[in-house]
Amino acid sequence: MAEPLSAVDVIRAKRDRERLSDQQIDWVVDAYTRGVVADEQMAALAMAILLNGMDRAETARWTRAMIDSGDRLDLSAVERPLVDKHSTGGVGDKITLPLAPLVATCGAAVPQLSGRGLGHTGGTLDKLESIPGWRAQLSTSEIIAQLRDVGAVICATTEGLAPADRKLYALRDVTGTVESVPLIASSIMSKKLAEGADALVLDVKAGSGAFMKTVERARELADALVGIGAEHGLRTTAVLTDMSTPLGRAVGNAVEVAESVEVLRGGGPADVVELTVTLAREMLALVGLSDVDPAEVLASGRAYETWCRMIAAQGGDPDAGLPVAAHTHVVEAEADGVLRSLDAYAVGVAAWRLGAGRSRKEDPVQHAAGVLCLAKPGDKVERGQPLLELRAGSADAVPAALAALVGAWTIGDGPLPATPLILDTLH
């Protein structure tokens, strides 16, 4: 049977800045998933979309076509309100780890299907795989059972969800078309809508350590994400947050798990606590649980009990020791004064080079590798005081990490003006 449309015609339409019809979008996404549209043709279309954009309705339809390329997760058997969260990624961004059990403790269910890290941003699954015995792959029936019993699950995306996105994501990565806002937004939302939650909160980051380097670009992406949610009837909120400085003090895998446990036990860095509670409030509000105070629940340590049950349900031992790096290297302050800046991107690259991240999806990570930020912007420091602790499997990884940190911080005089972590909230 002949194909009803032509890939070349769809490419030409977007090249010439025309609006793609619903029929064109449905056909080209389906045909690409089936292998009828070749990679070079989809690459050309992706570049045309990058250069000429898509309007809100086109983006929503593109998202629907990607969802329709695979299965939808049916979570109707879960007897709690379902709310999900997605972060656009940053340095030291371990928020999913304390957030999922916290929101579950407050009465909702959190189906957190997560990914692995690539480059300078860490992946949630890589962090959790630091825990002995913990497994990322769960069946749909295991996901549902855990949501009913524990209220939270963090696991790998099931194979059947949005296969078009998986194929297109890999193509965008090698064709210079990753930065297209409609394609980023539809990639994120196709997976989230296929997961079957009732509501979604997005943490859209801006700054050197984020994918979107400016607040303006982050806001553009947040608007697109919220717009897709609205078009598909999904209650959606986007929170714009600062990612110019690493989040918390730990950057890596095992070190971020340890810091998350501190937060769940009622302690931890103030910025990690602030963002965890802020996102929890937004998630609970979307599913009608605003009467519960997540700050009080987190401070009480009750969410830690849920964490232990969540980890154990996936084969992990919450009481087991985490991997410890064989080699550490301390970076000291070169002057007295106030630490005025600490560049998130540089710290993320340093952690990556120490072994905490990967260059290709198939690369392994070293769970014990990473960076501890012993001082944060606003702290007074003295010459010779430890600023950073680098952790690696061997001393051989340290020089490349140190090279990434050249110019990564500034030390000066006088107090540092307060800069907000939460930049804006979009509904």
Residues assigned a catalytic role: 86, 165, 172, 187, 191
Helix (H) or strand (E) holding 44: helix 39-52
Q: Is 406 helix (H, G, I), strand (E, B) or coil?
A: coil
User: Do 310 and 153 form a contact (C-beta atoms < 8 A)?
Assistant: yes
Residue whose pair of structure tokens reads 């105070």 in the numeric block: 293
Q: What angle do CA 107, 108, 114 make, to 5 degrees?
A: 140
Q: What angle do CA 137, 141, 144 make, to 5 degrees?
A: 95
Q: Which of 371, 375, 355 is nearest to 363 (CA)?
A: 355
Q: Is 12 helix (H, G, I), strand (E, B) or coil?
A: helix
DSSP 158: P
User: Do 131 and 311 form a contact (C-beta atoms < 8 A)?
Assistant: yes
Q: Which of 296, 316, 276 is nearest to 110 (CA)?
A: 276
Residue whose pair of structure tokens reads 């730990």 in the numeric block: 250
DSSP 396: G
